[in-house]
Chains A and B, each alone.
Chain A
Amino acid sequence: AQKITQTQPGMFVQEKEAVTLDCTYDTSDQSYGLFWYKQPSSGEMIFLIYQGSYDEQNATEGRYSLNFQKARKSANLVISASQLGDSAMYFCATDPGGFKTIFGAGTRLFVKA
């Protein structure tokens, strides 16, 4: 079955340090996308970064980078130089087949001053 697993319910990081949020996925599709979204307490889902299954280079968007290891089926999010505003829920997701998006349970990140 297609599934996203996020094993860290909560994470703490000191301001200005880097943090890695873990994500593993399970899909039999050859073509799929991997996504990370941020959800602040306001509730709105904010797109952060995308990695296609055929992309050989890891995706980067500003302070966000996606560590894509296809053989291990992992798609970890790295946030560099954490800021207080990064405190939020983070969801990993995939869209096997291109239509339906499957989300993980999320990781709550707390950034300490």
Chain B
Amino acid sequence: DAGVTQSPTHLIKTRGQQVTLRCSPKSGHDTVSWYQQALGQGPQFIFQYYEEEERQRGNFPDRFSGHQFPNYSSELNVNALLLGDSALYLCASSLEGGWGEQFFGPGTRLTVL
């Protein structure tokens, strides 16, 4: 039973560029959440997708957008990259109706130069 997978593992971009990160949820899970974790800090909630819709969003600008596909996998897109977007991006999956336990992927380390 595969857990949550994310790709790529590492990514280096320059300011102003756009990036797409991908996530496949744990088998049987239908809800995907994305988090940004800056160095030395706790994860910050970006948004959550369920039934291909963004259900809730944290305090992130519109440069951050996402998508969920019919197979429950998800993408996180960041436009007009800033140096401050450098972070570990974590994807977590869960089951709607469950008690909230999330399974996290290994993360994508994004470096913006």
- Interface: A64 (CB within 8 A): no
Contact partners of A42 in chain B: CB under 8 A: 106
Q: How many of chain A's residues have a CB under 8 angstroms from any CB in B?
A: 24
Interface of chain B, helix or strand or loop or mixed? strand
Contact partners of B76 in chain A: CB under 8 A: none
Contact partners of B106 in chain A: CB under 8 A: 42-44
Number of A-B contacts (CB under 8 A): 57
A93–B92 CA distance with the chains assembled, in angstroms: 14
- Interface: A100 (CB within 8 A): yes
Closest Cβ of chain A to B110, distance in Å, is 12
Contact partners of A44 in chain B: CB under 8 A: 104-107
* Closest B residue by C-beta to A47: B101
Evaluate whether A45 and B92 lie within 8 angstroms (CB atoms) in the complex, with A100-B58, A102-B45, A105-B41 already known. Answer: yes
B42 touches A91 (CB 8 A): yes
B43 touches A99 (CB 8 A): no
Interface footprint category on B:
20 to 34
A47–B102 CA distance with the chains assembled, in angstroms: 7
Q: For chain A residues 69-113, which have a beta carbon within 8 Å of chain B?
A: 91, 93, 95, 98-106
* Closest B residue by C-beta to A45: B104
Evaluate whether A52 and B99 lie within 8 angstroms (CB atoms) in the complex, with A44-B106, A99-B55 already known. Answer: yes
Interface residues of B (CB under 8 A from A): 33, 35, 41-45, 48, 55-56, 58, 88, 90, 92, 99-107, 109
